[in-house]
Amino acid sequence: MTLALAVDIGLTLLVLAVACWTLAVRDTFTSVIGFVAYGLLLALIWVRLAAPDVALTEAAMGSGLTGLLLLGAAARLQNAKNISAPPGLALRWVAGVLCALVSAGLAAMVLLLPDPAPTLAPAVVAHLPATGLGNPVTGVLLAYRAIDTLLEAVVLLPALLGVWSLAADRDWGGAPRLRYHRPDGALTLLAQVLPPFGIIVGIYLCWNGADQPGGAFQGGAVLAAMWALILTAGLAEAPPVSRRWLRWLLVAGSAVFLVIGLAGIGFADAFLAYPAGYAKPLILTIELVLTLSIAVALGLLIAGPPTRTPS
């Protein structure tokens, strides 16, 4: 047995143990800690699967931002009584057997997957020079399957509108309030020191994404986390949702993407195509604006609906 395999087996056992524990533990708050730890382990597994771009996203989004969101919710719900009865033993057994069957069936399919596996890697590599990019994943995201990325940026907007729509009518146009903790010296210090690092890292990830692992979503997620930290510590206030500049920031990424995509019909013969030779600068432009918009959207998703009545 090689050492690398030992690492993989160790990781597998650990991740399964944490997952079981997250589901089994009684207290919700503790369960969320389990989930954050689980996300960290997943990032390690993504590294082992030679997918650093995904590992970055998992670290930033899957474990980081999702963990924050769930931690905040669990903290607020600690006094909530759950009045729905837990399912009976029979249902548990039925569900358990069903899920075990699903797992077993899927496991059989995993073992039955064709070998050698079908892959698009050669096609991606063959066309990458046309995009001027060095990172094949960014090539897929911003060139070959740009529509998915455009829609993914757009998807954040209805989700955010959905969150905002949960405000009370009188609070519409007001600001969300993330600061639900008492002011604390240590937290304030953290919120003063960490964000400069984080902002550099976020911009670096976005900029680096064209050629190295990274990109708009990873960079945006880090920026969003730093913004949320500042808001949590009470060093700044979230802007009122009615602000015009905020709305512009939110849609800027998708709008720029859409405009460049539409320009492609005229200048490159297809929607979302880039004119030859201009692919890389256009992609970088899109990524930069997208990073900003994504950071704002993610930050506001964490901040929740407006709760302050506008003055």
Q: Map the footprint of another protein across residues 163-192, applying CB under 8 A.
A: 163-169, 172-173, 179-184, 186-187, 189-190
* Least separation in angstroms between CB 199 and another protein: 10
* Residue of 21, 203, 278, 280 interacting with another protein (CB under 8 A): 21
128-153 burial: b if 16+ Cβ within 10 Å, else e: beebbbebbbbbbbbbbebeebbeeb
Residues 236, 252: Cα–Cα separation, whole Å: 23
Is the C-alpha dihedral spanning 261, 264, 266, 271 positive or negative?
A: negative
Of 185, 222, 219, 236, nearest to 289 (Cα)?
Answer: 219
* Residue of 206, 210, 222, 260 interacting with another protein (CB under 8 A): 222
Contact between 193 and another protein by CB under 8 A: the answer reads: yes
CA–CA–CA angle 47, 51, 55 (5° rounding): 60
Residues 271, 96: Cα–Cα separation, whole Å: 48
* Residue of 175, 214, 231, 287 interacting with another protein (CB under 8 A): 214
* Residue of 225, 283, 286, 290 interacting with another protein (CB under 8 A): 225
* Residue of 206, 210, 292, 301 interacting with another protein (CB under 8 A): 301
Contact between 22 and another protein by CB under 8 A: the answer reads: yes
> Which two structure tokens, joined as six digits, stand for 29?
């708050």
Q: Map the footprint of another protein across residues 112-171, applying CB under 8 A.
A: 112-115, 117-127, 136-137, 139-141, 143-149, 151-152, 154-159, 161-169
Q: Map the footprint of another protein across residues 229-288, applying CB under 8 A.
A: 229, 232, 242, 244, 247-248, 250-251, 254-255, 258, 262, 264-266, 268-274
